[in-house]
Every structure is written in C-alpha cells, then in structure tokens.
Structure 1
Amino acid sequence: MNVSLTWLKERLDFGSRSLEEVCDLLTFAGIEIEGLQEIGVKSDQIVVAEIKEAVQHPDADRLKVTQVDAGEGSLRQIVCGATNYKVGDKVPCCLPGAALPGGFKIGETKMRGVESKGMLAAGSEIGLTDKEDGLLILDSDFKVGTPVKDLFDSDTLIEVEITPNRPDLLSHSGLARELAALLHTETKPVVKSQPTELAEDSGVVTVDSATCPFYSVLSIKGVKVSPSPDWLVKKLKAIGLRPINNVVDITNYVLHEIGQPLHAFDARKVNGAIHVRQASEDEEFKALDEETYALKDIDCVISDQSGTPLALAGIMGGLDSGVTDSTTEILLESAYFTTSEIRRSSRRLFLTSDSSYRFERGVDPQQVLPASALAAALILEIAGGEISPRTVTAGHLPKELPSVKLDVGRMLQLMDNSISLEDAGTILTRLGLSSSDLETWKIPSWRGDLERSADLVEEIARTHGLENIPSRTGGTAVDESKIDRDYDLLLDFKKSLVVLGFHESQTIKLIAETQLRDCLPLRPIQDGDLIKVTRPISEDHAILRPSLTPGLIATAENNLRQGAKTLRFFEAGRQFRNVGGGKATDLEADSIAILLGGEASPLSWTRSKSRELDLYDLKATIQAALGNRSIQFTTRARDGFLLSGDIQLNGKPIGTFAQVMPSRAREISFKAPIYLAELDQKKVLGIKKDMFQIEPLPQFPGSSRDIAMELPIETSNAEIEKALGKHSDPLLVSATCFDQFHDPSGKKMPADKRSIAYSFGYRSDKGTMKQKEVDTAHDKLRAHLEKTLPVTFR
C-alpha cells in the first residue's frame, strides 16, 4: 500500500521522530516498510529563471538559443527545444550540477555547436506534474533565482506491506492510529461529516444475498461533475492514483483516508429500486475496465429493477452506470460485504481493485455509514448539490466483536516480567481496546484479528518492543532426525556436483503443455497421470511438472542466449503426478535432474579443439557424485528421445537417462548433443553406506590381465558388467573396457559379432601376488564369463 507522508502527518504529529525512526518503529512492530520514494523538487540547483531572449538555433530548426536571468547577475545561455513559452515567461532552470529524478545530472554541453549552460525544464523532469506540453510556466510573481523546491510542496511515498490479518492498516487513518499507539500520541480524526437520518425503504433498495449483510445508499441531486480541486488531485497523485472527476475522486479519497470502499452511480442510469442479489448463471457484466465477464450464481451483483447489473458487489462498478461529466444526480453506495465471497469472485474472474483488496480482508463495519457521511460532505463542498435528508439502508451490520480474556499469568511469563499488568493494559488501551478490570478486554470493530489471549499478548509484546524482553535461554542441542540426515546427504550430493563444474538451477513447479516433450520421468507417463491447473495464470503455468527436466532445458536455452558453450546444470526438487493413470491418489516425489552437453573443457592455446561431452561423462558424473559407486546404464526406449534407458545401482533402478533429439537441441540453438538424467532422490539418499568413506591406499602392488572377447553384436556392455558383478572374487579389484571392434563386412570377423577388450586388475591385501595366483584368479574369471555369457575368447 502506498502512503503519503504529508497526508499521514495530517492525522498525527511525529514529534521529534525522523521518518527513518518511524519506519524502524513500524518494522519492529511487524509492519514492513518496503521502500521510500521522494516526490517533488529535491535539488537546490533548480531555480526560477526569466527568459530574456529566444533566437533560432543556427543549425537546428527545432531548437532555440535562449538567454535567461537565473538571478546570478548575468544572463545564462541555454539551448531549448520547447515551444510553449515566450520572452518574459518564468520557468524552472536546472543549473549545472542539478540532480534530476532518475539519477540524471545536468552539466554544460554543446548542442549542434552552440554552448548550453543548463536546461529549462518541464514539470515532470524535476519531479512535478506537467500542466501542458513543454516547459513548466511558473507564476510571474515568483522571484528570479528562488529555488523551485521552496515554491512547491514535496512529499515522500512510503510503500508499506500489510499482512492479510491487518486490514485495519489499509488507510491513512488506520496507519496513523497504529503509529499513535507506538509513538504514545493522539491522532487527529477526520471531522468532516454530513449526517443524515437512517431509514429502510424496499422501494429504494432490497437485499437478497448473504454476501451483503448491510447496504446503504444516499441520493445527492444537482451535483456538478468537474475536475477535482488541487488539494484532492495532489493527494491522489501522491499515492499513485489518476484523478478522474470530483465525485469519483472523493470516493477514492475516502477509501484511502478511512479504508471504506464507496461507489457512486449515475442515478439517471438506474431504473427503479436497487436490488442486491446473486447473479444468474452465465449472466454478462461489463465492468469499468471495459471487459465483459460471465458471472456465476456464486457472484453477487448490484442491479436495478430491470435486472441490469450495475456493479459487481465489492469488486468493480459497471461501465454503463458510472459517473460521467453529464451526471447531475448520484446514488452513493456504502456497504458491508463478506470477505470469503468477494475473494472467491475476485479470484475466479481474475478481477481485482482497491475495493476488492479491502473487502477480501475485511473492512471495519462501523465505518460504513461514517464513510458515506464524509463523502457526502465533500461532494456538497466540492461538487455542490442537494443531499437527501435520509440514507436508505437494508440489512444489519455485524454485532460487536466478542470480548477476549487476557491470561495474565501466561502474559507475564512470556514477557519474562519485563512489563507490569498496568503497563500492558495501557498498551492495549492505546491500541483501542477497553477494559474495566485489565483482564477482560472489549475488542474494537476494526480489530477482528484479535480472538484469543495469545493475540493480546502478541499486541503487548510488539508494542512494548521485542528488544525489551530479556532472553532467558540459548539454543539447545537436539538429536539428529531423519529429515536432518537427508538434508545433509542431499547437500553433500549437490556439493559434489558443484565441484564437478555443475550449476544448481531452481525452476518453477508449473510448466507449459508444450514442455511435456522434454519430460524424462522416473516412470513413463500414462493417460490421466498429468495434474493440470484448473485456471492457470498463463499457458506457461498450466501443468504441475511430472519431471524436472523441462525446467533444466529451459534453463539451458536461457544460458545459450547469453553465449554459453557448455551446459552443466542440476536441480533437486519435487515432481507431481497421478498414480496409475489417475486411478489412485496424487503422488509427490523428490528427484534430482542433471543436464550436460557442449565442450568438455574451454578452448586453450594448448589444444586446437575441445572434446564434446558425451553419455559417458554423464555416467562418470553420477558415479562421482555417488562416491565412485559403480552404476550401469541399461537401454529402454522413451518417446521423444534419441537414446534412453535406466540407471541401475547394484542391479536396482535409481533413475533414468536420455539423449535429447538433435532436432530439439537445434530448436534451442545448440549443435552438440544434450544428455539428461533424473534420479530418484529417496533411493539416492537411501544408500546405507556413507558415500564418502575414506579407504587406505593399497600396501601391495597388483597385476593385470587382458581379455579379448567375441560376443553377439546385440550383447550390451551392461550385460557384461552385470556378469562381472556376479563374480565374487576378492582378488578382482577392477575391470576396464579399453577397446571394441566390429566389421560390418564380415571379412575380419563375422558381421553379427563384436570384439570387446577388457583389462582386469588383481590385488591381494595380504601380500604381493605371485604369477600363479594371478593366473588362477584370471582362469576363474574366464570360466565364469564363459558360463554366464555367449562368449568366445580370441
């Protein structure tokens, strides 16, 4: 919410407190200040100057060379492109060194060869409002050389973040009331009012909707709709609102002054009595934003006797019933709407306004009629007219809020006796509560968030100051939980990937339907598995991701636009799906996705060409992150990928891998192969053995033997690794594939065969192995391979 400092100071006196101190006070009281913005002329180097001469620039048709008197004793030459001035006019002159909004600083320069010693300014260029196109023409009575900042009001815009439970702070008076309690001072209430009698008249207004417990309407005839006076325009512009006309501006002013939304109808456009009702199914409503909305029976509308919807209750008025320049009679609405129904309609229609923002959170019911009386008084003062002697009402305002009993003992305990009961009572009284015994407290109408003793203690604590409550104990150690262990293991896994040159990515959990082709889920997607958002905010956020890989490919695309040559990204997060094609409950599971592609190392003078990353780099990455635990890649076709399969550890699947289609890589402007992997986080972190155990160096030397095996061409390396894994010989410590050969012509070996060469390492931890021991172990291995694989040795 935007708050004008000048406006706020009309409601209370800061005393000796600076703005920074007040902002700190609000922040420590739980009201966050998001920013401050200076409004108005700030530089002393912007002065009043009189134009003494203006001649055509010798080399530019649209520029003139002026001589201006800026109160310096001599004329100053400035080149100017504006055309709305004449000799003798007084305008703002920015002298060299003047700082303008946006960080721009004025200096001396040459424009088309002619020296210019400053700048003549428009209002918007120095922090004021433009009254016409061109220079800001100042009052002729202003003295030459006077700083412009001394002639115009300045202000500071305070951007305040109000939590949903504090709607009472969504106005200048509400924030002033809160500050008064913190500053130990009093507020200056709004005293202007035009009271009227209250009367119920079904011929004027009827209510037939639970969304509207109370509705009031006041008729004002003979108004003259025109631009608002300067004081009102300044207030609205100070908080970022665009002035429209005096009647509409008054309703906006009242909303931001005391927090009660109002609406004014053109009475000539209302046919008969006002009827507050539920909308008909698919009833159309054209709002002030010129959009047409299809309503449901859960929406509440303000209509007339003909049934035409005049406004969407609590959210926005209708385009055809609003106040215009030709309006002479208005119906001023002030009502109380229930929060949940307004919030539901606003969210469903994606339609919000300053009014709906407040009604969704809850307005003070005791301000409904005072707000109407304040607006009526201002309309009478500014727009003229004749006010009806009675305000017609329908329904009843909510009853008083229930009293809350303060648990004094608990309060003193939580405050560590840093405050007495009397002082605590003083704080609650300053906040607008009342009590006769300091225990049972009557809650004011604007504080519907105070429902129990704990709420009162919180109010006492934050107003007293949390820094004034002593700390009794430090932190205590607790036993490590499974959540702690999993967090540490995941963090270690991430650190391993970072050490390997990867960058962590964090992407949104919602993806577009077009990104489904990039999904590499742990289990293939069936019909009904996808969880779609019923009303997505955009097409890019329509589906809960069933895999993390779409986000990584989008990240890769963004980095490629910035000139990246190598892609190394990972993300750990949650993916979503319906289980069993939507026949069971929804599943949320955590996984870890990895993307890799491009140059294996940056170009260097030591080599002319860099190797491209391949599938084995992906495998090595995963093995290294798992503490050098041996994994296997087994092929399994996945739609949309060139090469894909499962990742296995000790014969059990822990994830999937794939190579992106070259056509997809070209779509994101990448010529090299892109490889993906998605790991089941629970299985990865569930490995019992510590991933990073330290093993002593071997004490005795080892020996190696090579084998060249001839196998059917369809035999995969994963089958060989699986067979080797089943050979339980403690002397076999390593197995490395170093060569493969295949002759499609069949001349050197059968075309349906492939030669695979492995080097095997043997070592004993009991002593140096003799040649006979190595040969015996090697023969056992050969026999095992012959038994488990269709192999012949070459």
Structure 2
Amino acid sequence: MKISYQWLKRYIDTDLELDEILTVLTDIGLEVDGVERFESVRGGLEGVVVGEVLTCTDHPDSDHLHLTEVAVGREEPLKIVCGAPNVAAGQKVLVATVGAVLYPTDAQEGFKIKKSRIRGADSFGMICAEDELGIGTGHEGIMVLPQEAVPGTPAAAFLGLESDTVIEIGLTPNRADAMSHYGVARDLAAFLKAHGRRAELTLPGTEGFDDGGLPAAQIAVECPEGAPRYAGVVISGVRIGSSPDWMQNCLRAIGLNPKNNVVDITNFVLHELGQPLHSFDADRIAGGRVVVKTCAEGTKFVTLDGVERTLSERDLMICDAEKPMCIAGVMGGRDSGVSDATVNVFLESAYFNPVWIRKSARRHGINSDASFRFERGIDPNITIYALKRAALLIQELAGGRITSGIADTVSVPDITEPFRFDVGYDRINALTGKEIPQATVKEILGALEVRIEAERDGVLSVAVPPYRVDVRRPADLTEEILRIYGYNNIEIPARVRSAIALEKRSGREQIANRTAEYLTANGFSEIMSNSLTKLAYYEGLTEYPADGCVKILNPLSADLNAMRQTLLFNAMEAVALNTNHRNPNLKLYEFGNVYRYDASRAAEGGLAPYSENYRLGVVMTGLTETVSWNEKAAPATFFSLRAVAENLLGRFGMDIYRLETLPLGGELYSEGLSFRLNGKELFSLGIVAGSIRKMFDLRAEVYFLEMDFDLFVRSVRKHTVAVSELPRFPEVRRDLALLLDREVTFARLRAIAFSTERKLLRSVTLFDVYEGDKLPAGKKSYALGFVLQDRERTLTDQIIDRVMNNLLVQFEKQAGAVVRV
C-alpha cells in the first residue's frame, strides 16, 4: 500500500522528521518496504529559475536566432542564444541553467542543458517553452511570466509544483484499520502520544453539510445480511470536469490516474479514510429508487471493464427498479456510472458483509481497491462522515448542490458497537514477558482509542472500537499494547530457563521417519505438494472418478479446485517441472493425505461421505545412477522401483513374497502390479500410462508406487525384527535349473522351498529365465540359487544333498518341475 507523505501530514501534526516517521511505522507493525520520490513534473524543474530578459538583439549570422542577456539572480546575467519568435527585452521568463535536466512533454528521456556555441555565439542556458519543461503542450514560443515574477526564483516555487515522498507499506491482512492515510496517521499518533511526543490528529470538518431538511434519498435494503449498513445522498447540478491539481497530485503520487472530479473525489476519500464510495448517475436510476438485493442465478451483467459476467444468487447487487447497476463493494456497472454527461449524482456509502464481498470478488476474479477493503472489514461508524465529506467536496469542486437528505439504513445495529471483553494485567505481562506499569498500559489503551469501562482486581473491562476488526480477545489487545510499547523495549534476559520434555512420537510418525531415512539414503528426494489439485485430472477416470473428488466451493483458481484422490498427479507435476528444467533423472517420494467423496457411505451406514487416507508415493524416471567414465548409463525400470519396495518392506520385517499380487493396467498404469495384504491393497506399482504422461508432455517412461501408509503402519506394528550374532560357519550355495509351466511363478517356488526346508535355507534367488523355441510349447526355464547355512556346525555334502533332493521332490510334486541337465 502506498502512502503519500504530504497527504499524511494533512491529518497529523508532529515534529518528527521523515526518517523518524519511517522508523516508527516499521516499529508499530506498518513495515516500510520502500520509499520513492514523486514529482508532479518529472525532474522537479531543478536548475530552472525565473529570469528577466535585459537585452535582445538579432543574431548576425541567422535570420531567426536572437542574442539575449538574462538576469537570473546572479552577479552577472547569462548570455543565451534563443530561437523563439516572441522573445523580447523586458520579459520575465523561465530559464534552464547549465546542468539542469529537462523532460519535455511526451518524451521518454530527459536531456541535460550544456554550455554551447551556436553560430559563433556562446550560450549558457535555454529560455524555455511549456513543452520543453514538461508542464504543457505549448510550443508557439517561450513562456512569458507576469511582471511581478522575481528573477532567481526557482521555477518549482514560482509554479507551485509539488514534490512528495511516497512510502510503500507492507500491510498485513489483519490491519484493515490502516488501509488509508488517516488510518496510518491515527496509528502513528497513538505511538507518539504513548511516548510523550507531540502529535495532533485532525480530520476535515463536515459542519458545512446541509441538506436543508429535504426528504432522504429513496433506498431499500432487501438483503440485510449482505448490507448491514447502507447510506446514500443525491447531489444535483454537478459539472463534470477535471479535479484540481492538488487532488490530481495526491492520486498520482499513490499510482492512480485522475479521471474526473466526481470519480477522483470518491477515490480521494477512499484513500483518505479507508471508506469505499460509489457514484451513480442519478438520472439513469430507473424509478429513482436504489434497491440492495440479490439477483436470480445466471443473470447477465456488464461491469465497468466491459466484461459480461454471470451473476450468482449470492452476489449482492445494487439495483434500480429494472436492472442491476453494481456488484456491491466490488465493481460498478458500465451503464450506471458517472460520465461526462452526468448532471445529477447518487452517492453511496456502505458497510458490506466482508464474507459476501470476498466470495463475489473471488467468484468473478475481480480485485478492486473497494473489494480489498470491504472483504477485510472497514469501520461501520465512518459511513456517514465519509458520505458528508465526499458530498462537500463535490459541492466545492464540481459545483453540485445537495438535493436530498441522507438515507441511512442500519439493518444490524450491533455492527456499530465496540468489541467488549476483559483483560487482566497479569495476562498482559505473561504474554509480553515483561511487567509493564499499569499506568503505561492505560495510557497506551487511551492512545489506541480503547475505552476502559471498568477496573476491578487487576482486570480491565475494555471496549475496542469496531474499526479494529482484528482485536477481539485479550491476546489481540496485548499485541496492540506491545506494538505501541515497543518490541525493542522488551529486554532479552541474561538467562533462559526451559524444561526439555521428550514427547513420544506416534507409531505412524516413527515409521514414516524411518521410511524417509531409508529412501533418502538410497538417493531419493522428498517433495511436498498441495493437497488441492485440478479436477480436470480426474475427468474420464473410473478408478478415481471426478465425482469422487472433494470439490472446493470457492476455489482460488481452476488449478486448485478439488482435493486430490491420489499422489500420482502431484508426482507427475514434479517430474514435468524438473524435466522442463533439464533435470530428467529423478527419484522422488512424498507423504500426504488423499481424499475421497462417496455419497453411498452416508446413504448406507450413516457415515460421513468424506474419507481421508495417508499415503506414500514414490516415483522414478530417467537414469538411476549418474553417468561416469567407469559406469554405464543405468535407466530406471519397473524392477528398479520394485527392488526399492522389496527392501523397504524388508526393512520393517515384511516379506514382499508373502503378499498377493494382481496385475494392473488401463487408466493409470500401462503395466503394473497390485500387492495385497489380507485382501486389501497395500501398494500399487507400475509404469505410468502413456495417456497420463501425455497430459504432462512427458516422453520418458515414469515408474510410480503408491502405498496405503496407514495399512502399512498397522501391518508392520505386528512384525518384529530379530537381531542375532553373525554365524561362525560358512554358507553354501547350490543351483538348480528347472523346466516349468509358464504359469508357475518364482514366488510359488520360493514359498515351496521355505516350507520344505525351514532350518537351513537362508535365501532363494532367481538368476536366469529362458523362454524360447528350444523348449517345449508352454514351458520356461528358471535357474534358481539356494543359500544354505547351519549356525551350529559346518554343513557336510550328505546334508546338502539331502536338502537339495527334498527340494527337488517338492518342486516336482507341487509345481510339476523337471530338472534340466
């Protein structure tokens, strides 16, 4: 938010210099983000002074140049060569001296005045025309000033040019009370008064407002919930034109372009008081009556920016007898505002429900100065003052006259009442960390316009003015006291006492941390993404249908309009972002909640239709290892990610081979497996389908795993990991090549092996698979490796042979296997 220093000084009289004010503003929470210079004329005409032409003769070598001597308040006059046809001796003129920088009208850059030699004559400046100074468009000749102008007077002083300092304040959303020049002045004055500094706070008077006892303007509020207070007045005989220079300079300083006197007045009062106003052409109000109401769903309305908008039945509208004229508190209509032909004005001042305005502004994608303030909460008690202030300015600057009384409809009387609660000195001191003297607390509260209604046993009953919408409880008021008292006045203690309490983490948190440590140790990076996502991702899906999404009623954007059902799309967004930034080799993981809407849950069992589930997503793409001189490129595969899953489960004592597996495919995966535990899917793992990759413009294969982490936690809690000494006796390995039916899986053979030999068998691996025309139809060959070990003695050949024979017998009996020689 921009604050004009000159404008600010209209409301506060203090002996503080600008640098001190900037420091104080930051100290009281109105952090100064930047300071810039504003000049009503670029460059401020620095180096340009009033001059008097003493002599003027024709240049001997030119038919249009003149040789002049100009007095500019120095000991010696300046010799200047001038080409203007109207230059003459005795004139008072504006002279740009050597070193001045001028910014001509319509020029992008300025030019510097230098000593020059023109047709053999020296020239030490320039006698200027309007457009050369950037103060007008005239170029018929030089500017001729009144004779009373004093030579040597700076041009800026003579012309009454204004320069200003513009303060950029990084305003926090809760400080709606400071969204105006008067609001900042009021906060500044509170600090100065509390610290014994001089600070006189003033507001322009409205005593001159006189409606002559005329009937009030005709208004009707049919939606009191949306408009708790609505007021208006009619001003007739208005002459639309330019606003005065002082007002235009105020608006330009804070980045607003002046339009006409009436509109400029409403903008001026908005930034003066923080009260948005709106002016209507009264002759365009059908029936002469203003109605505040909602319109039917789907009603079309064209706003000031020329955009046709479709209204909601929850949009508060300012209407006449026939049509809507304005989206209340957001933006006016194209056909009802003030124009050059306007003669009579209906001026509106209101307090609108912040929630209604916020939702309408978001719904239509409009962010105006008015909505910015209304949706944060303004002062409901300044409504009438602001209306009178603007009406008087229109009378003064636009020649209007007040032709109605003020209509003031207060539908919710409580909004004008202060916020009341109790706060104790002990509570204040506990929160601030320092015992602030009670007299100081009372002084600060008085400076903040907080009324103390009663005091008993160290407890104050206070009434906070309603413009402080963020101060509703003792902690809020304590923050205000500390803000004005000064954070820097709270000493840092020499000793800090604290008790270190070890909080036992939940089982899920412990397991998640160990999982993250494992994945990170294996080269994966954790990502964190938004639970809000695009509903469009789920359109056309059956496993995760769009109807299953929890939809956001008031989304910030089309990209964040639903809660995610799966972590897959967040992972794909991360892959796409990195790939587009030339980082295609990725190993990522994310923990997060997913959400589902199922209306049948409520219909069947009376359960909430919404469900939430905690999941782990893991994604791999590109190369698994960095290419090196001694390492070949190793692209990620399905089996790369499967190995990660197998080792992760093993880390918690789970055997992946004990899980039931079912094939996946179709919408999300082109190929994949579902790993199930007791009939429930523990995790899915596969190659992301081409249609999904196409949505993110990805060509490389992407491998994704999604785990039901809540189910995983419940499962691993039942498992224990045993620790034992390293065995003293060696392992023995034996291999078997088996001819099998194609339907026989390695998992089945592994299960047969461990059920046959429980004591000595340590591991079973599959190290070769062959399928080809050298084998009978429907057959395949597996080469298995078996590791045997006895922890109490060295294995003999007889024991090893017996174990292998037993395994072979069971393979033949249970799997129809035949040994290949």
Common fold by TM > 0.5: yes
Q: Deviation at 1:249?
A: 1.3
The 1:262/1:711 distance shift into structure 2, 3 A limit, reads same
Deviates more, 1:7-16 or 1:670-679: 7-16
Aligned residue in 2 for 1:631: 656
Alpha-carbon deviations, 1:598-640, whole Å to 9, x = none? Answer: 2233333446x52322111111223444564653483422322
Aligned residue in 2 for 1:119: none
Matched, 1:709 2:728: no
Q: Deviation at 1:22?
A: 5.7
Task: Tell me if structure 2 keeps the 8 A contact 1:278–1:298.
Answer: no
Determine helix, strand or coil for the equivalent of 2:396. helix
Determine helix, strand or coil for the equivalent of 2:664. coil
Aligned residue in 2 for 1:442: 463
CA distance in 1, matches of 2:686, 2:267: 59
Aligned residue in 1 for 2:626: 602
Alpha-carbon deviations, 1:761-790, whole Å to 9, x = none? Answer: 122333433333333443444445445434
Aligned residue in 2 for 1:400: 417
Aligned residue in 2 for 1:429: 446
CA distance in 2, matches of 1:203, 1:635: 75
Q: Deviation at 1:706?
A: 0.8
Q: Deviation at 1:181?
A: 1.9
CA distance in 2, matches of 1:603, 1:145: 72
Matching of residues 23-38 of structure 1 within 5 Å: 29=28, 31=29, 33=31, 35-38=33-36
Determine helix, strand or coil for the equivalent of 1:507. coil
CA distance in 2, matches of 1:146, 1:277: 52
Determine helix, strand or coil for the equivalent of 1:729. coil
Aligned residue in 2 for 1:658: 686
CA distance in 2, matches of 1:770, 1:667: 61
Aligned residue in 1 for 2:202: 189
The 1:190/1:147 distance shift into structure 2, 3 A limit, reads closer
2:521 to 473, 480, 499: 499
CA distance in 1, matches of 2:266, 2:742: 83
Aligned residue in 2 for 1:124: none
Task: Tell me if structure 2 keeps the 8 A contact 1:418–1:468.
Answer: no
CA distance in 1, matches of 2:592, 2:474: 40
Matched, 1:558 2:589: no
Which of the pair has more CA radius of gyration?
A: 2
1:773 to 788, 791, 799: 799
Structure 1 residue identity aligned to 2:204: V
Matching of residues 192-341 of structure 1 within 5 Å: 192-193=205-206, 194-197=208-211, 201=215, 204-210=218-224, 211-282=226-297, 283-304=299-320, 306-341=321-356
The 1:661/1:219 distance shift into structure 2, 3 A limit, reads closer
Matched, 1:735 2:751: no
Task: Tell me if structure 1 keeps the 8 A contact 2:362–2:554.
Answer: no
Aligned residue in 2 for 1:508: 530
Aligned residue in 2 for 1:123: none
Matched, 1:759 2:759: no
The 1:681/1:475 distance shift into structure 2, 3 A limit, reads farther
CA distance in 2, matches of 1:792, 1:129: 101
Structure 2 residue identity aligned to 1:586: Y
Task: Tell me if structure 2 keeps the 8 A contact 1:90–1:138.
Answer: no
Aligned residue in 1 for 2:109: none
Structure 1 residue identity aligned to 2:270: L
Structure 1 residue identity aligned to 2:568: T
Determine helix, strand or coil for the equivalent of 1:706. strand
Aligned residue in 2 for 1:792: 818
CA distance in 1, matches of 2:776, 2:173: 77
Determine helix, strand or coil for the equivalent of 1:257. helix
Determine helix, strand or coil for the equivalent of 2:201. coil
Structure 2 residue identity aligned to 1:506: M
Structure 1 residue identity aligned to 2:163: D
TM-score when scaled to structure 2? Answer: 0.76
CA distance in 2, matches of 1:432, 1:642: 68
Deviates more, 1:493-502 or 1:724-733: 724-733
The 1:443/1:652 distance shift into structure 2, 3 A limit, reads closer
Task: Tell me if structure 2 keeps the 8 A contact 1:3–1:160.
Answer: no
1:174 to 158, 169, 183: 183
Determine helix, strand or coil for the equivalent of 1:180. helix
Q: Deviation at 1:760?
A: 1.2
Q: Deviation at 1:488?
A: 4.6
Q: Deviation at 1:454?
A: 4.3
Q: Deviation at 1:547?
A: 0.7
Determine helix, strand or coil for the equivalent of 1:235. helix
2:170 to 151, 160, 166: 160
2:642 to 619, 625, 638: 619
Q: Deviation at 1:548?
A: 0.8
Q: Deviation at 1:143?
A: 9.0
The 1:279/1:622 distance shift into structure 2, 3 A limit, reads same
Determine helix, strand or coil for the equivalent of 2:451. coil
CA distance in 2, matches of 1:711, 1:692: 34
Determine helix, strand or coil for the equivalent of 1:636. strand
Q: Deviation at 1:162?
A: 2.8
The 1:749/1:440 distance shift into structure 2, 3 A limit, reads closer
The 1:436/1:620 distance shift into structure 2, 3 A limit, reads closer
Task: Tell me if structure 2 keeps the 8 A contact 1:528–1:582.
Answer: no
Task: Tell me if structure 1 keeps the 8 A contact 2:735–2:786.
Answer: yes
Q: Deviation at 1:129?
A: 9.9
Task: Tell me if structure 2 keeps the 8 A contact 1:47–1:147.
Answer: yes
Alpha-carbon deviations, 1:85-107, whole Å to 9, x = none? Answer: xxx99699899xxxxxxxxxx9x
Q: Deviation at 1:433?
A: 1.7
Task: Tell me if structure 2 keeps the 8 A contact 1:626–1:691.
Answer: no
Alpha-carbon deviations, 1:251-276, whole Å to 9, x = none? Answer: 11111111111111112222343232
CA distance in 1, matches of 2:164, 2:762: 80
Q: Deviation at 1:680?
A: 1.7
Aligned residue in 1 for 2:85: none
The 1:788/1:768 distance shift into structure 2, 3 A limit, reads same
CA distance in 2, matches of 1:514, 1:241: 39
Alpha-carbon deviations, 1:171-192, whole Å to 9, x = none? Answer: 1211221222223343532225
The 1:671/1:422 distance shift into structure 2, 3 A limit, reads closer
Q: Deviation at 1:322?
A: 0.7
CA distance in 2, matches of 1:759, 1:250: 89
CA distance in 1, matches of 2:785, 2:98: 87
Task: Tell me if structure 1 keeps the 8 A contact 2:318–2:328.
Answer: yes
Task: Tell me if structure 1 keeps the 8 A contact 2:300–2:311.
Answer: yes
Q: Deviation at 1:26?
A: 5.1
Alpha-carbon deviations, 1:475-512, whole Å to 9, x = none? Answer: 433343444x5445424423432332333333333333
The 1:386/1:430 distance shift into structure 2, 3 A limit, reads same
Task: Tell me if structure 1 keeps the 8 A contact 2:220–2:290.
Answer: yes
Task: Tell me if structure 2 keeps the 8 A contact 1:518–1:549.
Answer: no
Determine helix, strand or coil for the equivalent of 1:320. coil
2:380 to 355, 362, 365: 365
CA distance in 2, matches of 1:227, 1:733: 93
TM-score when scaled to structure 1? Answer: 0.78
Alpha-carbon deviations, 1:7-28, whole Å to 9, x = none? Answer: 3344336755765x76665556
Aligned residue in 2 for 1:593: 617
CA distance in 1, matches of 2:355, 2:504: 40
CA distance in 2, matches of 1:204, 1:518: 54
Q: Deviation at 1:693?
A: 8.9
Determine helix, strand or coil for the equivalent of 1:587. strand
**Fraction of identical pairs, as percent:** 28
Deviates more, 1:9-18 or 1:309-318: 9-18
Superposition RMSD in Å: 4.5
CA distance in 1, matches of 2:21, 2:734: 80
Aligned residue in 1 for 2:549: 530
The 1:552/1:406 distance shift into structure 2, 3 A limit, reads closer
Task: Tell me if structure 1 keeps the 8 A contact 2:380–2:416.
Answer: no
Determine helix, strand or coil for the equivalent of 1:371. helix
Aligned residue in 2 for 1:456: 477
Structure 2 residue identity aligned to 1:11: Y
